Amino acid sequence: MKNITSVISAAACMAALTAAALPANAAGNEKVYGTMNIPYADFYSAEIGNAYAVDAVSSATASKWSMNEPGKLVAGTYNDGNGTILGVTFPVEVNASDVDKLEKYNFTKLDEKPAAYKEVSLSGDSLTVSKVIDTNGAENTDGSATVSTSTRYGDYQLNVKGYPEGADLYGVIVNTKEGDHYALRHLENIWRAGQISWSAGISTTEAHGNELKYDNYKSSMGKTVTSVTFITLDGYTNVNVGEQYLPVKFEGEVKAEDSTAGSGKTSLTFTGFPADYKKNVTVGDGFTVSGDQISYTNAKPGKYTVTVTDDSGKYAPLSAQFMLSTADIPVKYSDGKLVKADGFSDDDAANFIKNITSFEVNGNKFNASGRGAVKAFGEDGTIDFTAKSGETPVFDGSGNYSVSVSATGYTSPYNFEIKPEEPVVTTTTTDNTSATTTTSVSAAGTSTTKKQTKKAASTKTDSPKTGVPGAALPTAILGLAGTAAFALRKKND
């Protein structure tokens, strides 16, 4: 009995010791949820099957790289404070024992389990990051996309419809029919409104001068995109876009020489086209292409685009602009607007007006097209004298303006003066009243008329009125007649 009691006591002590030890072990294996900075390479590694390491992205575009607050341009990212986006800040699940080790990744504990997260583990200093754990399941939706090979942001641009609007995008993956997965980074590849782009090695500098990384995207040429995966805080949204072929791009050029407007010809050259490129060259109505020449009839001044497409569909199209110009100015200024000049048609004037690119008023220059354009000329040529550049009036209200208007396709600007006309005064006298009419014309071509009426001044006279025109005699003459009569009577006496 004693032995049994001793065994039970020993077992109880062992159980107590084991129980005391369990919380420490359990704490080490307990799952903790939080957010942490995950470098692009680690964030995308499992998503694309370790196909390649995704680099950080640098930008020379002032301040855009730092707009990482919720709802901003690069929301959810983190950076080095000097223009380089390093990765994304995303929810994770980690072992409690690893929390202290994740301090350098800015781990911040969450109060509850998130809807989507990545499992993260540490082996020494090496991170292992899983694909997104989407607790609600991936959302699959049918959308659409258009492919452009003429973009200022690389070689290919996709405009995707059906993406998760209103959500911050933490990652985007382009998936192809051939089984490739291309991971995209913020600012260089991921833009607003479902717009994504990348370089495949042909166009390697974007609009702001930033160098584009293209090595990992070279193989996308000639592939067919079937879906685009968007990663948000709610998990995956897979947008099916049908089959969107990415035409093969190449180092080539098409060029058309500038020429004169009207009727004539201009030369056309092709450089660097693949031997199996089946050219189909077009310009527009009124233009005919034959070999290395473009012929045209009654072409208005302005810019035109020549486009070369591959009838086989394998290669990307190429295009170029050329100018047809004239020294003629088909407009004149009249009553606050630009109208057709003598000898020109309404179409001639309308063509000049629609091609206005800039203008000057009293030496101050304004852009009439593009970013920051000032709309001072209406489609019908009417001048808006209340137009502003920002908060600054274009016309200062003085009524005296020296204007110079430049238009694409016209070799010289149209220069003209606007001045308030001198008042024209007309006075009409009728009986005892006179009417004065003053008419002035403002710089905007509007007329102001004032009319004043007053009694005509009376002519003072002491002459009697006989009712017969010319019958009244001056007083001096009557006086002389009276003196003569008195002298005659005295003599007779």
Beta pairing partners, 121: 128
Give residue 60's pLDDT: 60
Beta pairing partners, 87: 39, 78
Give residue 90's pLDDT: 98
Give residue 434's pLDDT: 52
CATH of the domain at 170: 2.60.40
Residue 183 forms part of a structural domain = yes
Residues of the chain scoring pLDDT < 70: 1-28, 60, 62, 421-493
Entry pTM: 0.76
Give residue 63's pLDDT: 80
If asked whether residues 283 and 352 sit together in one domain, one would say no
If asked whether residues 215 and 144 sit together in one domain, one would say yes
If asked whether residues 104 and 73 sit together in one domain, one would say yes
- Please say which residue of 99, 134, 169 terminates a domain: 134
Give residue 429's pLDDT: 55
If asked whether residues 184 and 106 sit together in one domain, one would say no
If asked whether residues 33 and 120 sit together in one domain, one would say yes
Residue 482 forms part of a structural domain = no
- Please say which residue of 210, 245, 280 terminates a domain: 245
Residue 324 forms part of a structural domain = no
Residue 209 forms part of a structural domain = yes
Domain span at residue 173 reads 139-245
Give residue 10's pLDDT: 41
pLDDT tens digits along 447-465: 343 444 444 444 444 433 3
Residue 303 forms part of a structural domain = yes
Residue 465 forms part of a structural domain = no
Structure tokens at 91: 């929810």
- Please say which residue of 213, 245, 277 terminates a domain: 245
Residue 356 forms part of a structural domain = yes
Give residue 432's pLDDT: 56
Give how many domains the chain has, as a whole number. Answer: 5
If asked whether residues 89 and 179 sit together in one domain, one would say no
If asked whether residues 162 and 221 sit together in one domain, one would say yes
If asked whether residues 112 and 47 sit together in one domain, one would say yes
pLDDT tens digits along 231-276: 999 999 999 999 999 999 999 999 999 999 999 999 999 999 999 9
Residue 490 forms part of a structural domain = no
Give residue 13's pLDDT: 41
